């Protein structure tokens, strides 16, 4: 008994597994789990070791949170909106169409009560959630033909999921569910007319530019999606305080890190894609406004029957009003001026 | 000897002090040091304990990095541009006028080689630096009268420091150095005509709105300033790997946290300030462009005689060109659309 170090009793050696919803090939978003695991393992000198598994190695990517809830694995690195089929409130943990942007999501999560609100909800699903990444505003997808008017959306077969799919449906499009690897052949054969994925760096890997060259922005359904680490709630509650502290710091660091990674890699990727033939187009204000109005109707519908959704959504909206008022001052005018310099070749 | 736990031998208990460049009253920026200390102390179960001291408690705020270099304290929470009097390259660690915005700074630091480049420079000063916070784009300061044209800057006595002061001087203004507490009476008596500080949440505490109500934006000299944790280089090198890992994660988490804190607090503060009489004004494109052109001349001058500055500056500029090209797509059009909704009262 004398030989057992007191500190080892307080902090037993743990070996946990984190199952990612993403394949290794998407190194930036998959890398978020690696960042969490590396920081925790290093910081504890291996006393709290986390091993990362790609989507499909233990469970399929879209079942990562379920596997954590059921105790198959201790942790998942995933996006909560993947589970919107179980409860619409899951969507708000990641993003909803026309939601908060990346910086606003962090402000809301860490200072606006967002983490408490989401964890109140996640607890009802046996989960504890920690924001662990963000992709920034995503692109609006690849299309075989231009979308000039609302009419061009009628009957359009789009690979798009979740709430964005429901909005597209209201605008007359026909949402399709396809796994990442099935998108390219469907686009090539014209089985679908367009597909949204993530942004330049990730999209480039799937080669859409060759078969659907019109690359639209913004991805109004993903203005700043948060990626989560989920921990089985019981196991989180039993974790020693210092390991809770390590994991909390590691996830917040990973949150910062993933956005930095996308922000560094996307600019170079968009240059390459344009060189390969991508034709950049912005969604028209008409299309955006119709989508926005449809989104608000859908949120009102859901809020009327889902109390958790309403509570979280109202909190995000309250902050969003002030956040987008303030952003019009220094942030927006600074960036605008710098963009003018960029266009003038004066950077 | 049997009673000595092995883990405690590998990781001796450390008690370090971090001296902040900021007073406790600036809770958001001062809070960055508290976040670092809390995460490290919690994660190591007190084995690596960091105690925070406000500016002036051990050394004056503007001497924090010197105190770390000299070994008076182990760590500082400060901004590297405070030390620009010792070497212009220090400026680039925080921000320079018309530099990278907050997200771009993180992209450059964590993925664009920024941390390696800055630490190559910091090492020559006996320091190891870890980005640990960001204020976001700051405001352009408080003025007794409106600044409509470049001519209005002639002879204007401004509380502004560093490279921004040098640019203002080229535009005909007269930069003044004043400590935070001396600004209000100087503005009140008309000893100075204007003063820049940080942004709404911090500025509000100093009450400038009562004596210099014209509140300008953007603060083109601070588009996304990074706050650093500095560690004495020798002590950093001797730190056990797990403590290095803890500190690295804690600082990256704190980096995320401070920006979230400003982003949450500033929107509410700007509302209060406008209610108290702040008159929001944007700098004219003429003033901005003249300042931009002057800045580029100054950077070329410094680069011609300061190799470290040139190397770091060139790296930032190369990324900035692509970053501001890419930002014009999804990020900018998404935010623009949401700002239109905000103005229409449709959020």
Tens of pLDDT, residue by residue over B14-72, are: 999 999 999 999 999 999 999 999 999 999 999 999 999 999 999 999 999 999 999 99
Q: Residue A10: what pLDDT?
A: 54
Q: Residue A241: what pLDDT?
A: 95
A11 — pLDDT class (breaks 50, 70, 90): low
Residue of B254, B256, B291, B333 to mutate when probing chain A, most A C-beta within 10 A: B256
Interface of A with B in 91-130 (CB under 8 A): 98, 101-104, 106-112
Contact A223 B338 (CB under 8 A): yes
**Would you say residue B8 has pLDDT above 80?**
no
Mean pLDDT over B110-124 rounds to: 98
Beta partners for residue B129, in sequence order: B230
Contact B44 A242 (CB under 8 A): yes
B340 — pLDDT class (breaks 50, 70, 90): very high
Nearest CA in chain A to B262: A107
Q: Residue A8: what pLDDT?
A: 45
Mean pLDDT over A296-306 rounds to: 98
Contact A242 B42 (CB under 8 A): yes
Nearest CA in chain B to A291: B337
Q: Residue A177: what pLDDT?
A: 86
Of all residues in chain A, what percent carry a pLDDT higher than 90? 94
pLDDT mean across residues, chain A: 95
Tell me how far apart the alpha carbons of residues B336 and B332 are, in angstroms, rounded to a whole number.
6
Q: Least CB-CB distance to B267: which of A218, A268, A326?
A: A326
Q: Residue B3: what pLDDT?
A: 41
Contact B101 A3 (CB under 8 A): no
Q: Residue B11: what pLDDT?
A: 56
Q: Least CB-CB distance to A5: which of B7, B263, B283?
A: B7
Mean pLDDT over A265-293 rounds to: 98
Q: Residue B1: what pLDDT?
A: 37
B4 — pLDDT class (breaks 50, 70, 90): very low
Contact B339 A328 (CB under 8 A): yes
pLDDT tens for each residue of B127-173: 999 999 999 999 999 999 999 999 999 999 999 988 999 999 999 99
Please tell me the class of the A6-135+224-265 domain. Answer: alpha beta
Query: For residue B317, which residues of chain A lie inside 8 Å, CB to CB?
Result: 347
Backbone angles phi, psi at B62, to 5 degrees: -80, 0
The second-level CATH assignment, the architecture, of B11-134+224-265 is: 3-Layer(aba) Sandwich (3.40)
Query: For residue B255, which residues of chain A lie inside 8 Å, CB to CB?
Result: 256
Mean pLDDT over B249-264 rounds to: 98
Alpha carbon separation from B269 to A20, A62, A182, A318, B274 (Å, rounded): 39, 41, 49, 15, 9
Residue of B134, B254, B335 to mutate when probing chain A, most A C-beta within 10 A: B335
SS (H, E, C) chain A: CCCCCHHHHHCCCEEEEEEECCCCCCHHHHHHHHHHHHHHHHHCCCCEEEEEECCCCCCCHHHHHHHHHCCCCCEEEECHHHHCCCCCHHHHHHCCCCCCCHHHHHHHHHHCCHHHHHHHHHHCCCEEEEEEEECCCCCCEEECCCCCCHHHHCCCEEECCHHHHHHHHHCCCEEECCCHHHHHHHHHHCCCCEECCCCHHHHHCCCHHHCCCEEEECCCCCCCCEEEEEEEHHHHHHCCHHHHHHHHHHHHHHHHHHHHHHHHHHHHHHHHHHHCCCEEEECCHHHHHHHHHHHHHHHHHHHHHCHHHHHHHHHHHHHHHHHHHHCCCHHHHHHHHHHHHHHCCCC
Interface of A with B in 317-346 (CB under 8 A): 317, 319-339, 341-342, 346
CB of A223 within 8 Å of a chain B CB? The answer is yes
| In chain A, where the domains are located | 6-135+224-265
Q: Residue B10: what pLDDT?
A: 55
- Nearest to B312, CA basis, from B131, B119, B97: B119
**Would you say residue A337 has pLDDT above 50?**
yes
pLDDT tens for each residue of A71-130: 999 999 999 999 999 999 999 999 999 999 999 999 999 999 999 999 999 999 999 999
Contact B39 A220 (CB under 8 A): no
């Amino acid at each position: 008994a004398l030989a057992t170090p007191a500190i080892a009793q307080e902090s037993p050696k743990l070996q946990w597994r984190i199952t990612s919803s993403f394949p290794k090939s998407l190194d930036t978003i998959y890398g978020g789990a690696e960042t969490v695991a590396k920081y925790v393992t290093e910081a504890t000198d291996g006393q709290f070791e986390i091993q990362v598994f790609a989507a499909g190695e233990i469970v399929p990517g879209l079942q990562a949170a379920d596997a954590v809830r059921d105790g198959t694995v201790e942790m998942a690195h995933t996006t909560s909106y993947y589970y919107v089929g179980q409860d619409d409130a899951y969507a708000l943990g990641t993003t909803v169409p026309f939601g908060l942007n990346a910086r606003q999501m962090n402000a809301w999560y860490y200072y606006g009560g967002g983490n408490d609100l989401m964890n109140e909800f996640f607890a009802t699903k046996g989960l504890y959630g920690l924001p662990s990444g963000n992709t920034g505003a995503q692109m609006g997808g690849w299309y075989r033909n231009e979308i000039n008017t609302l009419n061009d959306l009628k009957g359009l077969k789009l690979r798009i999921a979740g709430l964005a799919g429901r909005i597209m449906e209201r605008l007359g499009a026909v949402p399709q569910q396809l796994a990442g690897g099935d998108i390219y052949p469907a686009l090539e054969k014209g089985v679908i007319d367009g597909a949204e994925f993530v942004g330049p760096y990730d999209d480039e890997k799937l080669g859409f530019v060759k078969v659907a060259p019109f690359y639209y922005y913004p991805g109004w359904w993903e203005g700043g999606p948060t990626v989560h680490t989920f921990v089985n709630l019981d196991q989180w509650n039993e974790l020693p305080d210092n390991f809770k502290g390590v994991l909390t710091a590691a996830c917040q660091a990973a949150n910062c890190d993933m956005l930095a990674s996308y922000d560094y890699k996307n600019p170079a990727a968009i240059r390459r894609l344009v060189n390969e033939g991508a034709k950049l187009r912005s969604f028209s204000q008409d299309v955006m406004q119709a989508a926005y109005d449809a989104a608000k109707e859908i949120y009102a519908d859901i809020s009327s029957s889902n109390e958790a959704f309403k509570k979280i959504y109202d909190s995000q909206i309250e902050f969003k009003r002030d956040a987008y008022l303030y952003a019009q001052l220094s942030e927006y005018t600074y960036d605008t001026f710098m963009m003018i310099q960029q266009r003038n070749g004066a950077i």
